[in-house]
Structure 1
Amino acid sequence: MDQRRNVFFFHSKDETTIRQVDKLQSLAVEHGFKLVDNYEDANIIASIGGDGAFLQAVRKTGFRDDCLYFGISQKKQPYLYCDFQIDETDKMIEAMRNDQISVRKYPVIDITIDDTNRFHCLNEISIRSGIIKAFVIDLFIDDLHFETFRGDGLIISTPTGSSGYNKSVHGALVDPQMACMQVTELASLNNNTYRTLGSPFVLSSQRKLRLEVVQDGNTHPVIGLDNEALSIKHVKQFDIGINGKTVKTVKLKDNSFWQKVKRTFL
């Protein structure tokens, strides 16, 4: 942490949050950190809020892999990406002084839409029908035509994203130490014409996933990237993979992914 002293705070502009951030900024300066106004000059990007704010901070600052992301929550409830609560400044200082923090790397999914629009996501990309009609997608793993999906849509999640939307539709929880992506169906229709695997499956970082949308009038899907929606018409193809890019986060050593899962769900 000694060489990472330039801090950028990502937060909403309401009065309560501004007052809270002012205190954190004073504390940071007091302990030898430098405040910067441009996230491109930062070594540490601190998000204030919850997991949603953390995901927005990562997205709005370009999924930087050359800095550390630091999640600070405003509410006393379990979060995946936020190890610290905004009023627990003593805990933050003690953790830094006593080497109780560690850096964890989370894989990022890379998405290209119709060979032109490129995006990243830290949790998941969800692709759903935009009209009251089943979605038909030809799914390829590498160059193998694996199945033709018909249903409401698909979720492709990272390991950290496996505990979110993916879990709500009975996807598996995946250890974040594995660089992989999980494919989970939304209300698939299985009959004599359409047949899918019918269960979530996990692909390694070496695999490439290609989704070709069958052009039957349902070409304006609802596309979700983490907690942000895209509006792209006449989508024909998604190319999805893990390209080695990671997001580095500051975490407490005694607060692992599985400890958070237990605390949140059990």
Structure 2
Amino acid sequence: MKHIGIFAKVQDPRCREVAGELLRWLRDRGFTPLLEERLSQYLGDDTGLKGAEIPARADLVVVLGGDGTLISVARLVGESEVPILGINLGSLGFLTEIPVSGLYEALELCLFKECKISQRMMLNVTLHRGGKEIGSYLALNDAVINKGAPAKIISLDALVDGLFLATFKADGLIIASPTGSTGYSLSANGPIVDPTIDCLLITPICSHTLTNRPIVVSADTEITVVLHSQMENVMLTLDGQVVVPLECGDEMRVSRAKHRTRLILSGESDYFTVLRTKLKWGER
């Protein structure tokens, strides 16, 4: 490994401070840092690149921030499948499980020895209107159709490989990956899924019926969700970060993406330990 991409939550002074230290550490050891341009400007460095240019040139990407920062970088890395080392400078750190105190130890393992990598399934999401595809997106956690209007529910049909599943009268519907099972889907009473399992989760949000429960389907299927409500402020939201306005009759199609997010893990922990310590799972 020679070229190391660096992304950070640039509005956070501590993230910028750590990024500056990391920049010097890498250059002192003969590595070539690839700084995202906004971070580069904050650090007074003139070598910055557009974020989308970094994955194709990097052998490894370091993300300084919280889970939200890592998720946005995961979508950016996309097809390149460059390994991502997430360093937690946020509040939860479920995905960015390595603390900042372990940054250089983890880096040395990646650069000079071997590191543990978790392959995470991503979602391929397409949006169709009037029989035509009008958008294509990647998501690590989830694709959500929900509404902004208060005190109103929306009507959504869900199909699995073209077979009718259900009509949901609800605040919305979440299609989540296994990684996303501990995100928004969990808050809507969806199941926790081991991230090494490939599957798709369908989780209604405040469904107006007692029988619409979350369901898990094969990752080999394609889920289609059709919006039937004529209402303003209905949106498709990807990973809680990318928002696309929807119209009545729009179709969202979700399937397993061809490419995966490769997360570098701490060798000192495992998924179930993180589940207990970060989300307090199983506590009484």
Fold shared, TM-score > 0.5 on shorter chain: yes
Structure 1: where are the runs of 5+ without partners?
A: 191-195
What secondary structure is seen at the aligned counterpart in 1 of 2:230? coil
Q: Distance in 1 between matches of 2:108 and 2:80?
A: 26
* 1:117 corresponds to: 135
User: Shift of the alpha carbon at 1:229?
Assistant: 3.7
* 1:108 corresponds to: 122
User: Retained in 1: the 8 A contact 2:176–2:200?
Assistant: yes
User: Shift of the alpha carbon at 1:163?
Assistant: 0.9
* 2:62 corresponds to: 46
Bigger relative CO (Cα 8 Å, ≥ 6 apart): 1
User: Retained in 2: the 8 A contact 1:69–1:248?
Assistant: yes
Q: Distance in 2 between matches of 1:179 and 1:244?
A: 12
Q: Which amino acid aligns with 1:203?
A: V
Q: Which moved more, 1:22-31 or 1:203-212?
A: 22-31
User: Retained in 2: the 8 A contact 1:142–1:207?
Assistant: yes
What secondary structure is seen at the aligned counterpart in 2 of 1:231? strand
TM-score using structure 1 length: 0.86
User: Shift of the alpha carbon at 1:130?
Assistant: 2.8
Question: What pairs with 1:31-180 in structure 2 (closer than 5 Å)?
Answer: 31-36=29-34, 37-38=48-49, 39=54, 40-59=56-75, 61-75=76-90, 78-92=92-106, 95-96=109-110, 99=113, 101-114=115-128, 115-132=133-150, 133-180=152-199
Q: Which has the higher helix share?
A: 2
* 1:8 corresponds to: 5
Q: Cα RMSD (Å) of the superposition?
A: 2.3
* 1:256 corresponds to: 270
Question: What pairs with 1:7-26 in structure 2 (closer than 5 Å)?
Answer: 7-14=4-11, 15-26=13-24
Structure 2: where are the runs of 5+ without partners?
A: 35-47
Identical counterparts, % of pairs: 19
> Does residue 218 of structure 2 align to residue 218 of structure 1?
no
Q: Distance in 1 between matches of 2:204 and 2:57?
A: 41
Q: Distance in 1 between matches of 2:7 and 2:21?
A: 14
Q: Which moved more, 1:24-33 or 1:160-169?
A: 24-33
Q: Report how many aligned residue pairs link the two structures.
A: 255
* 2:255 corresponds to: 241
Q: Which amino acid aligns with 1:67?
A: V
What secondary structure is seen at the aligned counterpart in 1 of 2:272? helix
Residues 96 and 240 (structure 1), Cα distance of their counterparts in 2 relative to 1, 3 Å cut: closer
User: Retained in 2: the 8 A contact 1:58–1:64?
Assistant: no
Deviations 1:199-256 (A, max 9, x none): 1111111111001111x41264132211314132415110111133211111123322
What secondary structure is seen at the aligned counterpart in 1 of 2:220? coil
User: Shift of the alpha carbon at 1:6?
Assistant: 0.9
User: Shift of the alpha carbon at 1:89?
Assistant: 4.1
Q: Which moved more, 1:44-53 or 1:235-244?
A: 235-244
Q: Which moved more, 1:84-93 or 1:134-143?
A: 84-93
Q: Distance in 1 between matches of 2:111 and 2:19?
A: 21
